[in-house]
Amino acid sequence: MSLAVVRSRAPAAGRAPDVTVEVHLANGLPSFSIVGLPDLEVRESRERVRAALSNCGFDFPVRRITVNLAPADLPKESGRFDLPIALGILAASGQIPAAALTDWREFAGELSLTGAVRPMRGAFAMACGTARAHAHSHSAAAEAHDRTDADLHPSCAPRTPQLYLPADNAAEAALVPDVDVYAVTDLRALCAHLAGAEDARLAPVRARALDTAAAGALPDMADVIGQRGARRALEVAAAGGHHLLMVGPPGAGKSMLAARLPGLLPPMTDTEALASAALLSASAIGFSPQQWRRRPFRAPHHSSSAAALIGGRNPPQPGEITLAHLGVLFLDELPEFDRHVLETLREPLEAGSITISRAAWQTDFPAACQLVAAMNPCPCGWRGDPSGRCRCTPEGAARYRRKLSGPLLDRIDIQIEIPALPPAELAGRAAAPGEATAVIAPRVAAARERQIARQGKTNRELSGRETDAVCRPDAAGEALLREAGERFGWSARAYYRALKVARTIADLAGDSMPSAAHIAEAVQYRRALADQ
């Protein structure tokens, strides 16, 4: 046989589209060509595959070899195609049975010159893509067969797909259900398994129970000294998924509070955990099993570019706001970010997704993260401090705050001041410890459950019409909210966001509708910059 077809996948923004590796051997002058938009790493596969086959004792065919990576319009990158290319050459030259490379078997891995299979990124995303494709194809086949027969024909019976990956990646991929993952250490052992050798059969890797404690405990709210108002605001933000801005002097505890928000958020569902892990797996940072079911916490430096924050390159790659999907994006020293970079956040914060367009590509990335930002009140950081140490002019402080546009601030639901702690309160921390995360998190989870049961989403995600339906306060609360909106010159967006925050406060209290007290607290959460 001179033609072989091998299945693989190419991680693209966590979606892992299917890639068919076609290998053809023809007569003519010996050559080795790879087509189908391969990048430099893929083109270098020729030398790695040639050496690996020779060192594993296989014959490298002295013929005209053509490898096609389909679809031809999808860019291919990394060395993950080494393994399927090598298998295709062996099957096309008759050194392993071509029947072993069935449609329900997929392969990926980089080969060393000795034939060992090296780890790669995107294994989890690849397993998710395999599971989705198998579920979709079986559903389509069953639906088509139902048109002619009420009973499912045995030929339509589902067969669990098999995914062959480097041994170092098998543990993370095995977390994905409905896929049999096989750990491959070297090319020779895999070929023996595919040939059906009894003493060389590989067994599927079973997902092991993960010990979340092994990854380290999340930061605890009990470590925060004082800051009762800030702690309450953080609880409200966690309960409703609201964006949060903290304004205060250096050392007040803004970064410390932000790092403790992931511990307050409800545990991830299976669907959320799979989506988050697939995005991390396909990115440059990678995914480890210790991150399973942990909400991501991304804290990019203020020198980050727009492409790093929201995504870019060609073809488009996800940015920090996508890597923080279903978790927390923390922007410290917010005014130090380039204003153009901050303005790119406006649309994804509102929509929960972002579309990156290039001349030949358009890609949608999820971006349903919770923004937490921190800033100083002025360039030196001490404006309003009782010690009078601030030397910034009013114009300088106003110029510093104007780096944040009104449309961006409109999208931040809660804006609070974090005062500096006096030495007396620091000295008395043992006498009055704050509530621990284990005490606050159940209240947050209960409030989230009320929201999901009522509207199927968090309060922050409500549309204008849904807000009118489920967040309308009583008469006294509505009058207070109208008065606050007129006094502070709120936009329609700011008005509705304050209403959503009030609904979250009512959910934490277990009340059926926001009252004047809930509205009053929500109004206070939008005054950090209004009075300056």
Contact (Cβ atoms closer than 8 angstroms) between residue 354 and residue 321: yes
pTM: 0.86
Report the Cα–Cα distance between both ends of the chain, in Å, rounded. Answer: 78
208 found inside a domain:
no
Q: Is residue 342 part of a domain?
A: yes
Alpha helices (H) in 283-331, listed in sequence order:
306-310, 320-323
DSSP letter for 205, please. B
Task: Work out the number of other CB atoms within 10 angstroms of the CB of residue 68.
Answer: 17
| Count of CB atoms situated within 10 Å of the CB of 43 | 14
As given in the structure block, the two tokens for residue 313 are 């390159």
The burial of 104, by beta-carbon neighbours within 10 Å (0-12 exposed, 13-18 middle, 19 or more buried), is given as: middle
Q: Are 514 and 471 in contact (CB under 8 A)?
A: yes
Separation between Cα atoms, residue 304 and residue 306, nearest integer Å: 7
Q: Please, are residues 15 and 318 in contact by the beta-carbon 8 Å criterion?
A: no
Same domain, 221 and 195: no
CB atoms within 10 A of CB 402: 11
* Pairing assessment for the beta strands 328-331 and 297-298 based on DSSP bridges: parallel
Q: What CA–CA distance (Å, rounded) separates 356 from 413? A: 26
Q: What is the span of the domain harbouring residue 284? A: 215-461
Buried/exposed 421-452: b ≥16 CB within 10 Å, e otherwise: beeeeeeeeeeeebeebeebbebbeebbebbe
Query: Is residue 192 located within the same domain as residue 289?
Result: no
Each residue's pLDDT expressed in tens, for the chain with a length of 532 residues: 589 999 999 877 567 889 999 999 999 899 999 999 999 999 999 999 999 999 999 999 999 999 999 999 888 988 999 999 999 999 999 999 999 999 899 999 999 999 999 999 889 999 998 988 887 765 655 555 554 444 444 444 557 899 999 999 998 899 898 899 999 999 999 999 999 887 888 999 987 655 554 456 788 998 888 888 999 999 999 999 999 999 999 988 899 999 999 999 999 998 899 889 888 887 878 888 878 889 999 999 999 999 999 988 777 788 999 999 999 999 999 999 999 999 999 999 998 999 888 776 778 889 999 999 999 999 988 887 777 888 888 888 888 988 899 899 999 999 999 988 877 777 765 556 688 999 999 999 999 999 999 999 999 999 989 999 999 999 999 999 999 999 988 999 999 999 999 999 999 999 999 999 999 999 999 876 655 5
Whole-number Å distance between alpha carbons of 90 and 95? 5
- Residue 406, SS3 per DSSP: helix
Residue 473 within a domain: no
Q: Is 481 helix (H, G, I), strand (E, B) or coil?
A: helix
| pLDDT at residue 154, as a whole number | 46
State residue 213's pLDDT score: 47
Tell whether 285 is covered by a domain. yes
- The confidence score (pLDDT) of residue 62 equals 93
Helix (H, G, I), strand (E, B) or coil at 368: coil
Looking at 404, 434, 461, the residue that finishes a domain is 461
- What is the rounded CA–CA span in Å between residue 244 and residue 366? 20
Q: Distance of alpha carbon 127 from its chain centroid, rounded?
A: 16
In terms of DSSP bridges, do strands 244-247 and 414-417 run parallel, antiparallel, or are they unpaired? Answer: parallel
Same domain, 177 and 232: no
Shared domain for 171 and 283, answered yes or no, is: no
Are 189 and 224 contained in the same domain?
Answer: no
- If asked whether residues 97 and 189 sit together in one domain, one would say yes
Model pLDDT, residue 133: 84
* 117-118 and 110-111 strand pairing: antiparallel
Domain count, the chain: 2
In a domain, 130, yes or no: yes
Provide the edge-to-edge strand list for the sheet that holds 370-375.
297-298, 328-331, 370-375, 244-247, 414-417
| Under 8 Å between Cβ of 18 and 7 | yes
Which of 422, 439, 461 is a domain's end point?
Answer: 461
**Domain shared by 77 and 188, yes or no:** yes
pLDDT of residue 532: 52
- 119 and 235 in a single domain? The answer is no
Q: Is residue 252 part of a domain?
A: yes
> Can you give the CATH number for the domain in which 332 is found?
3.40.50.300
53 and 162 together in one domain: yes
Query: Does any domain span residue 17?
Result: yes
Rounded alpha-carbon distances, angstroms, from residue 458 to 241, 353, 450: 6, 16, 9
Residue 222 lies in a domain: yes
CATH code for position 87:
3.30.230.10
Spatial neighbors of 8 by CB under 8 A, at least 6 apart, are 18, 19, 20, 21, 80, 81, 83, 84, 106, 107, 108
Are 229 and 195 in a shared domain? no
C-alpha–C-alpha distance, residues 108 and 129, integer Å: 13
Residues 240, 168 within the same domain: no
Helix, strand, coil % (nearest 5) of the chain? Answer: 45, 15, 40
One domain, residues 287 and 346: yes
